[in-house]
Amino acid sequence: MTISNAIEFKDVTFTYPESKAPVLKKINFKVKKGSWTALIGHNGSGKSTISKLINGLLLPDKDSGSVITVSGMNLNSKNVWDIREKVGIVFQNPDNQFVGATVGDDVAFGLENRGVPRDQMVQTVKKVLSDVGMLDYIDAEPANLSGGQKQRVAIAGILAVEPEIIILDESTSMLDPSGRDQILKIIKRLMSEKNLTILSITHDIDEADMADNVIVLNDGKILAQASPTEIFSQTEMPRQIGLDIPFVDKLIYKLNQLGITIPKDVQTKDELKQYLCQLNSKK
């Protein structure tokens, strides 16, 4: 059976035990297999709750009619461990993700838990560290790494156990712009090479602009779901819920106001730069 959606939520409702009102209210969305989806919303909108539901760290309210499907499996208490093998999460604080004394030990941790033979483990650790540009640091202590390097190692540890889905849960929010850009470029490349599905939970609007699809969450409900261009061309909607719009979309909006029409297929900074250079050369 061919699975078209890596993740699907149907009428999902969730309430924390200490809360009277649900934090998620009958939400519905799909994440296409092999795509990059960004989930955005203000603090308290329910974004991180969704990542915990996908990984089975939380379960929807009983008798609510909620259905969560991950890699073709309807999530329940019996198959939660099977689903967790399909999903890897890169968390916000890289310091909270290390368990090994060295980079190599840390990446090997998940493989050791699965009983992978040592020779195969060594090869896998070297391969995934090479994939994220960290092979030279295999014997380094994690405490001596920069924030961006730590997140690369965290990604390598996830790649080692071959998930189908990677969730970036605010995983670039503590990095400087250079470190953030490096991580996102690595993710974009690995997504293409390994046919990964990426769900990015983020406050970074420029990160969301890199996705194939954007889901806007507001007060526990899906406000909108569309391409970044469709979402951010509605400049008022993101701002009404406390979100900005990406720099490139702001610039395109201003240029259009000045009478400089930018084609709809121009969506990234590089594409806009190239188009404006071509436009200037024709003068």
What residue segments make up the domains of the chain, in order of their start?
Answer: 5-245
Band (pLDDT 50/70/90 cuts) for residue 126 is very high
pTM: 0.84
pLDDT digits 0-9 by tens, 170-194: 888 888 888 888 888 888 888 988 8
Judged by phi (left if over 0) then psi (alpha if -120 to 50, else beta), residue 109 lies in: alpha
What's residue 283's pLDDT? 62
Nearest Cα to Cα of residue 242 among 13, 23, 42: 42
Right CATH number for 5-245 from 3.30.2130.10, 3.20.20.210, 3.40.50.300, 3.20.20.70?
3.40.50.300
The lowest-confidence range among 107-121, 143-157, 165-179 is 165-179
CB 13 within 8 A of CB 66: yes
Length of the chain: 283
Of 174, 201, 171, the C-alpha closest to 186 is 171
How many other β-carbons are positioned within 10 Å of the β-carbon of residue 278? 9
- Residue 122 CA to residue 103 CA, distance in Å, equals 12
